[in-house]
Structure 1
Amino acid sequence: MSIFAEPETHHATGRDRSAACADDESLLPTVVAALTAAGERLVRRFSAEPRLGSREEIFTALADNDAVSLEALREPLSRARPGAGWVEDEIARGPLPPGEWWVTDAVEGNINHVHGLTDWCVTATLVRDNEPVLTAVHLPLSGDTYTARKGAGAYQGSKRLRASTKAALDAAFVGTGQAAPDEDTETYRRIGQSVSAMLGSALVLRVSVPATLQLLQVAAGRMDVFWQYSQIRSGLLAGALLVAEAGGAVTDTRGSRWTLASEDFLAAAPQLHAGAVDVLSTIR
């Protein structure tokens, strides 16, 4: 069975792209409202008290959270963009078919939520012909919302975001993390080797999940570099657009243009990008 809910044929092949771009700005408040509604549901389910004792309980709690949040997201986003497809599998990888698609993460950092940690959010990104063109990320516990539109900048609320101006990697605050549980052994090997390499090059290194919350910090200039092996769309698209619109560099770890077909991901402050590529391109 396909992991995609196919967009309407007339939209995927014939919709006027310039008209779609003009609609993006007016669409953003609807996206933020949907994320806020989903976040309110998740806050009511959140507890800092430990309550999970087994792998089965963890995965049941993750699925329950996803279902509650998606119920608040899908109808308003689908109504706002009736011709856009919907990615059913939030851990899917690879390029999308032509046209517009909603890529959401109903609980980005869900593993943190179910363990009583505060590092989680809700995201929605509109992808047009495999390019993210609009995104919003809502942090329900703090009330912060980050937004970006292609060519229009990245914002935390009304504050314009700017990537770090650091020029030396030995002053950099860098980060990485897993894309998902149960990655393959080659991915784990690359993560471990990259951590060792960056520990010898950067000032300090953070390993955590989810990716989006580290990418928010790169966009805001509070962190300087983030990289990740493997390609789960929902964890990278929102942050990729935010970083790019904040003036950062978004490529793969060898410095080539990042796409949904890339094997890995790198986002960096502009003057640190070359140094990060020098370090990470040694990892094979």
Structure 2
Amino acid sequence: MQLVRERNKQKKNVEEKLNAVDLVTETDKEVEKRLISALSEKYPDHKFIGEESTADGIKCELTSDPTWIIDPIDGTMNFVHGYPNFCISIGYVVDKIPVMGVIYCPLQDWLFTARKGCGAFHNGVPIHVSHTTELSQALINIETSVRSSDPNKMKVFFENLNTLAPIVHGIRTAGSAVITMSFVAMGGSDAYFEFAVHAWDMAAGCVLVTEAGGVVIDPAGGKFDLMSGRILCASSQDLAQELVKNLKQYYGPRDDA
């Protein structure tokens, strides 16, 4: 979207939401309003869950109705600093199951698309996860945004980092959950997990990963729950389960709590 490209070069009007690292800009709000306006005009009976709408007090409630789940800028911290890893993410959910995802990275001009049963694509070219099945050969993505009012979250993060660093091929961080899932889907990364993430960070990406041949589960090994704030995606079920065995778990608040 041209608006985001232009705003990236300008000084941002930045506000704090929950804390000093939970940020929102005027661009986040404007992009979300534009997307919801355009989609609601075409699909007046559909529902919406947006990151900034939720931050403004609209209840985050997922029903069986067709629902668009929007993150206007995933990676706002990156956007604020001019770091290029940020994107616009739109997920479409029916019967509480993500069935379509559209992810656009404005600076790289990357468009990722996926629809249930139709495959996953990067700028129109089919993509597929890697063939990695062993943790020792896996490039793992984690997120380092651990500054939190809950000291246990930080404790769990560093315990998992210390556990994984000696046994995986490498560890990377992108600063955007959706972009990270896109990397897994296109085979550039082999697995990713995160706790205390949100539905708008995951809805589009989980369709992309599964349609690219990967798996998406709960980090404890159970079924993925879009509202749980928890995700683990990997190139294979074997790799996912091997990662699960090595993780210390953290359970934060649910989006629908």
TM tier, smaller: 0.7 to 0.9
SS at match of 2:25: helix
Shift of 1:201: 1.8
Aligned residue for 1:241? Answer: 207
Shift of 1:198: 1.2
Shift of 1:186: 2.4
**Cα separation, partners in 2 of 1:133 and 1:50, compared to 1, 3 Å:** same
Q: 1:145 aligns with which of 111, 115, 124?
A: 111
Is 2:66 the partner of 1:100?
Answer: yes
SS at match of 1:77: helix
Distance 1:41 1:51 in 2: 13
CA-based RMSD of the aligned residues comes to: 2.8
TM-score (norm 2): 0.84
Structure 2 gap ranges (5+): 251-257
Q: 1:65 aligns with which of 4, 23, 27?
A: 27
Is 2:202 the partner of 1:221?
Answer: no
Give the structure with higher Rg (CA). Answer: 1
Aligned residue for 1:279? Answer: 246
Distance 1:275 1:171 in 2: 12
Stretches of 4+ aligned residues off by more than 3 angstroms: 49-56, 58-61, 88-95, 178-183
- What do the CA deviations read for 1:164-190 (whole angstroms, capped 9, x no partner)? 102321111101115786463222222
8 A Cα contact 2:199 2:229, kept in partner: no
8 A Cα contact 1:252 1:264, kept in partner: yes
Distance 1:174 1:198 in 2: 9
Is 2:138 the partner of 1:172?
Answer: yes
Distance 1:183 1:152 in 2: 42
Alignment of 1:1-284 (within 5 A): 39-47=1-9, 62-90=24-52, 96-177=62-143, 182=148, 184-262=150-228, 264-270=230-236, 271-280=238-247, 282-283=248-249
Distance 1:84 1:245 in 2: 24
**Cα separation, partners in 2 of 1:84 and 1:68, compared to 1, 3 Å:** same
SS at match of 1:82: coil
Shift of 1:253: 1.3
Which letter maps to 2:80? Answer: V
SS at match of 1:142: coil
Shift of 1:207: 3.1
Distance 1:53 1:105 in 2: 17
Distance 1:105 1:45 in 2: 17
Distance 1:95 1:254 in 2: 24
Shift of 1:278: 1.6
Which letter maps to 2:205? Answer: G
- What do the CA deviations read for 1:101-126 (whole angstroms, capped 9, x no partner)? 11101111111111111111101111
Aligned residue for 2:253? Answer: none
Aligned residue for 1:13? Answer: none
Distance 1:180 1:140 in 2: 26
8 A Cα contact 1:190 1:229, kept in partner: no
Shift of 1:82: 1.6
8 A Cα contact 1:179 1:235, kept in partner: no
Bigger fraction of residues in helix: 1
Shift of 1:89: 3.8
Shift of 1:152: 1.2
Provide the aligned length of Structure 1 versus Structure 2: 243
Distance 2:163 2:80 in 1: 32
**Cα separation, partners in 2 of 1:198 and 1:59, compared to 1, 3 Å:** closer
Which letter maps to 1:70? Answer: E
Shift of 1:54: 9.5
Which letter maps to 1:278? Answer: K
